[in-house]
């Protein structure tokens, strides 16, 4: 869908926020997937279309991503990671656990509401 939207709107890239900590559970978050998917984009779009698939955080940890967002002033209260589709975030699914741990390691509290907010001991 993103590639179709990009082509229809003359965009030159599609970005995905996959990162290194997702590799184990999600094979489509590996660099090899993006390398394999780029030719699919090239074949599946008009010959004159050039759309790059970009994964700028693929080698970053979730903590590094949170820290970069803090530097950029990302409004994290408007972001969502939970597998639930409505607030509050559960605080227990893998996505919540990784997010909460990343914020803790970055030294700031995650601003979204959680049903359960566990804490993580530093390693």
What is the extent of the structural domain holding 112?
A: 61-123
Q: Which of 60, 78, 93 is the last residue of a domain?
A: 60
Q: Which of 60, 83, 101 is the last residue of a domain?
A: 60
Q: Which of 15, 43, 60 is the last residue of a domain?
A: 60
pLDDT score at 123: 47
Whether 51 and 7 have beta carbons less than 8 Å apart is answered as: yes
pTM score, two decimals?
A: 0.79
Instruction: State whether 81 and 48 are in the same domain.
Output: no
pLDDT score at 105: 96
Instruction: State whether 107 and 90 are in the same domain.
Output: yes
Dist. CA 121–CA 21, nearest whole Å: 18
- Kindly report, residue by residue over 4-55, the tens digit of the pLDDT: 999 999 999 999 988 877 766 788 888 899 999 999 999 999 999 999 999 9
The number of folded domains in the chain is: 2
- Kindly report, residue by residue over 70-81, the tens digit of the pLDDT: 999 999 999 999
């Amino acid at each position: 869908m993103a590639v179709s939207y990009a082509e229809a709107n003359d965009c030159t890239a599609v970005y995905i926020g996959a990162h290194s900590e997702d590799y184990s559970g999600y094979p489509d978050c590996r660099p090899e997937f993006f390398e394999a998917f780029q030719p699919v984009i090239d074949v599946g779009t008009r010959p004159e279309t050039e759309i790059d698939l970009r994964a700028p955080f693929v080698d970053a940890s979730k903590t590094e991503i949170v820290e970069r967002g803090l530097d950029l002033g990302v409004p994290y209260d408007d972001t969502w990671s939970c597998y639930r589709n409505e607030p509050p975030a559960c605080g227990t699914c893998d996505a919540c656990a990784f997010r909460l741990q990343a914020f803790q390691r970055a030294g700031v509290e995650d601003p979204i509401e959680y049903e359960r907010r566990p804490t993580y001991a530093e390693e």
